[in-house]
A and B are shown apart, each in its own frame.
Chain A
Amino acid sequence: MVENRPFLTFLTHMVLIVGVVVVVFPVYLAFIASTHGSGDFLSGVPPLLPGPHLIDNYYKMLTTGLSSAGAPPVWMMMMNSLVMALTIAVGKIAISIISAYAIVYFKFPFRLLAFWAIFLTLMLPVEVRIIPTFKVVADLGMLNSYAGLAIPLIASATATFLFRQFFLTVPDELMEAARVDGAGPIKFFRDILLPLSRTNIAALFVILFIYGWVQYLWPLLVTTDPKYYTIVMGIKRLAAVADSDPLWNLVMAAVILAMLPPVLVVIFMQRLFVKGLVETEK
């Protein structure tokens, strides 16, 4: 701070408090709704204070779900989301770190071509190639499977670039010393490069886990069997029912459960999260 201006400091706090309220209020309202009985929404004025049905609602959603919506119990959808998010995060990191290693530590024909092919994936999000990608996955028999949910999403240009950037900053002397001591490429990668990349891997993992968890369009395309619904896509089905049936309390319980895991990751791993976010965009 350059100088002391009490009024401006007061204004600063006011701005931030209003900002926090705007950011938090929709979630607060959803949480409050999830603690009420379904009858409390008939009066036309939504409740603003917690009700007594917190445990009932969450227990019901987690164990049985809303059968009228054709969606499985929430815990099952959350497990599917977890499997999908973890596979995507681990898969992206694994294949990107080895491709970055190949690009930085080896010289071979078509190296540049490989680099540009990976770069192109940045320009082809699922949204612009919906039908043909769906066809490929269908032809490979991967609809309604965990492989179909995760594998088509694990190519990653950003992760490859991040590792490439990081490998370029690793001192050349480390590799020369390793070679003098007789270490081959696999040993050097496993014993030296991998331990050095630990923080980068952790930061990237946080970002990619969130990326995997919030996927919506892809699971919507490749799953028709409720056994493979993820929570983020399942919620839409629940909400569609709520519009005709006043089951807002149950739908909002599912909404809170759907956002809880990634939000907790952001809050408790804030440093890694910020690092990952800022570095993947470079």
Chain B
Amino acid sequence: MQTKRTIFPNKLLPYLLLTPQLAITIIFFLWPAGQALKSSFEREDPFGFKTTFVWFHNYARLFSDPEYLNSVWRTAIFAVSVTAISMSVSLLLAVAVNRLLRSGKFYTTLLVWPYAVAPVVAGILWWFMFNPTIGILPYLLDQFGINWNHRINGSQAMILVVIAAAWKQISYNFLFFVAGLQSVPQSLTEAAAIDGAGPFKRFWTIVFPLLSPTTFFLMIVNINYAMFDTFGTIDATTQGGPAGATNTLVYKVYADGFLGLNIGSSSAQSVMLMLIVIALTVIQFRWVERRVQY
């Protein structure tokens, strides 16, 4: 790995400089992760006196548990919907801002601030708008004959959390799409325009393909966001309900382990989640390497 051409000769100093970071990493990251891995292979008796090594028993139970499989399925629907909605809206807005010269900055300021809204607050804002008794959206939907009650209707609960989570993520995707669009060479679009390609054709045949590294990167980041950072959104709105309709994997780990105190199963779930994050991170870093060559 790269260092400077000349380096400082000190022997002890670099270790001292690394100590705080490594201490925190080991105590609060690596050690707990190891513990989760260890207890995912163990079963604790109900009184916590004795633990027995049970090999893959917890995992086998997990994958035969219909509730867990349901949660995997719900998480997939949730992550794909949030990513698709949030990214397509942001791309549309970014393309629009990119067409403007002066007013673009003004719109940008109005569009970026939701980045700073906590996921739980985003959840509460939309929960208020969708509140079956006093919310404005159920009131409007009622005019069209749609009866909105996300407390009993699972699909409506899912729609609520998807919208709240996607809304918060628009600003992030928007900023990256704007940055991506600005790096598309103007000369290419001009050449296409001279050849008679209209704005829509230019977008789909030139701009969109050149944007694909950004799109791919955002896809990974958004899936990561939808899976791990939306705990607050769900906890504030549906709490995984009704009947597990919005019980994502992260919410289930929390509910089973912290509220339900089922350590073995919860650890096995944690380990499954770690594998997902590791896969996503590896894909993301692979992509960074490719972009350097690009």
Contacts and interface: CB of A to CB of B under 8 A. Distances in A.
Given A26-B126, A252-B128, A19 B111 contact: yes
Q: Which of A1, A121, A127, A258 has the most CB of B within 10 A?
A: A127
Given A23-B171, A281-B217, 10 more contacts: A19-B89, A26-B128, A99-B22, A102-B13, A103-B1, A106-B8, A124-B277, A129-B29, A129-B33, A251-B124
Given A104-B4, A114-B18, A263-B116, A232 B121 contact: yes
B236 to A, nearest CB: 5
B116 to A, nearest CB: 4
A278 B27 contact: no
Interface stretch (A56-64, A65-73, A150-158, A196-204): A150-158
Given A107-B7, A108-B11, A160 B124 contact: no
B10 A106 contact: yes
Given A23-B110, A179-B6, A265-B116, A15 B96 contact: yes
B116 A262 contact: yes
Given A15-B96, A152-B28, A123 B115 contact: no
24 contacts: A2-B199, A26-B125, A44-B134, A45-B136, A96-B21, A99-B17, A101-B17, A103-B1, A112-B1, A114-B22, A123-B281, A124-B277, A125-B228, A128-B270, A132-B33, A136-B28, A154-B24, A172-B4, A213-B116, A236-B124, A263-B117, A266-B116, A274-B175, A282-B288
A219 B214 CA distance: 33
Contact of B25 (A26, A117, A130, A220): A117
Given A217-B254, A235-B124, A270-B109, A123 B278 contact: yes
B35 interface: yes
A48 B235 CA distance: 27
B120 A235 contact: yes
Contacts of A33: 128
A239 interface: yes
Interface string A128-170: 1111111111000000000000011011100010000000100
A8 B266 contact: no
Contacts of A221: 258
Interface of A: 1-3, 5, 8-9, 12-13, 15-16, 19-20, 22-24, 26-27, 29-30, 33, 41, 44-46, 48, 94-96, 98-99, 101-108, 111-112, 114-115, 117-118, 120-125, 127-137, 151-152, 154-156, 160, 168, 172, 175-176, 179, 184-185, 188, 210, 213-217, 220-221, 232-233, 235-236, 239, 246, 248, 251-252, 255, 258-259, 262-263, 265-267, 270, 273-274, 277-278, 281-282
Contact of A117 (B26, B136, B273): B26
Interface of B: 1-8, 10-11, 13-15, 17-18, 20-22, 24-33, 35-36, 39, 89, 92-93, 96-97, 99-101, 103, 107-122, 124-129, 133-136, 139, 167, 170-172, 175-176, 179, 186, 189-190, 193, 199, 202, 217, 221, 228, 231-232, 235-236, 250, 253-254, 257-258, 263, 266-267, 270, 273-274, 277-278, 281, 288
A248 to B, nearest CB: 7
A73 B257 CA distance: 31
A40 B273 CA distance: 45
Contacts of B136: 29, 45-46, 48
Contacts of B11: 108
A59 B156 CA distance: 36
A155 B28 CA distance: 9
A87 to B, nearest CB: 13
Nearest to A136: B32
Given A12-B99, A168-B2, A252-B128, A267 B25 contact: no
A12 B1 contact: no
A210 B25 contact: no
A259 B124 CA distance: 12
Nearest to B199: A8
A239 B124 contact: yes
Contact of A216 (B119, B125, B270): B119
B139 A46 contact: yes
Contacts of B228: 125, 127-128
Contacts of A214: 116-119, 121
A111 B1 CA distance: 9
A124 B127 CA distance: 30
A48 B117 CA distance: 22
Nearest to B114: A23
A104 B5 CA distance: 10
